Structure 1
Amino acid sequence: MSAPLILTTSSHLEGYRVVEHIDIVSAECVFGMNILKDMFAGIRDIFGGRNKSSQNALRDARVSCLEELRREAGEMGANAVIAVDMDYSEISGGGKSMLFLVATGTAVRVEKV
């Protein structure tokens, strides 16, 4: 069994040497926000406090997007992705709300030093 593909927001990995820069890799994930979640988030905004359903949706989006990034990089022959960046956006209109997440990084092959 091979080691799991490493992801980091850093431009280098302590204890590893980059032996090959393969390519830029990205993953895009779009999630529909349930109308009830939107309604309760609005109520929570009025009264304050944390919104667990929105937090869970953000966490699910992050986990899914990072798994997609790993898959894409692995298919390129990488064993790590460095300089990972994540950007969240909300797309809404016509009574619908969508969470859009993009993760990007540089797919590389690394060796232990």
Structure 2
Amino acid sequence: MASGITLTTSIDVPGRRTDAVLGIVAAEVALGMNIFRDISNNWRDFVGGRAHSSEVTLKDARTACLDKLQREANALGADAVIAVRLNYNELSTGSSGGILFVAASGTAVKLAQESAI
């Protein structure tokens, strides 16, 4: 991840004043889900329980998407991204599996310098 870039779903960074809004940043990730993972998840749906392989895929997609969001903000010279929103969607590709889409967006901001007390 781009070091030093704070991500938050809130409209500010607690304890910090926003100095400038640099713009909207967005990132998208698409990950394929293979047929074996889909079969495993269908079995879980039938017998109940958690679909661990899907949870891992969702986490990987979210992590990659947030990393890209931080890199987009870093390219603008931002210190933080506020009002981050995540959206998930799946495109079924038939018997060969599906594609998981994760999109993230937020507002890149420059934070005021902290004053030494």
TM-score by length of 2: 0.91
Aligned pair count reads 112
- CA RMSD of the aligned region, Å? 1.4
The answer to whether 1:7 aligns with 2:7 is yes
Unpaired segments ≥5 residues, structure 2:
none
What's the CA shift string for 1:18-64, capped at 9, x where partnerless? 00100000000000001100010001001110011110000000110
Identity across matched positions, percent: 45
Task: Indicate the SS of the match to 2:77.
Answer: coil
Inter-partner Cα distance in structure 2 for 1:3 and 1:32: 28
Q: Which runs of 4+ in 1 moved over 2 A?
A: 93-96
Inter-partner Cα distance in structure 2 for 1:64 and 1:85: 14
Q: Is the 8 A contact 2:25 2:72 kept in 1?
A: yes
The answer to whether 1:97 aligns with 2:91 is no
Give the CA deviation at 1:3.
Answer: 5.7
Inter-partner Cα distance in structure 1 for 2:3 and 2:83: 20
Give the CA deviation at 1:94.
Answer: 3.5
Task: Indicate the SS of the match to 1:88.
Answer: strand
Which structure dedicates a bigger proportion of its chain to strand? 1
Match of 1:52 in 2: 52
Match of 2:111 in 1: 110
Q: Is the 8 A contact 2:93 2:99 kept in 1?
A: no
Task: Indicate the SS of the match to 1:16.
Answer: coil
TM-score by length of 1: 0.94
Unpaired segments ≥5 residues, structure 1:
none
Judging changes above 3 Å, is the alpha-carbon distance between structure 1 residues 9 and 78 closer, same or farther for their aligned structure 2 residues? same
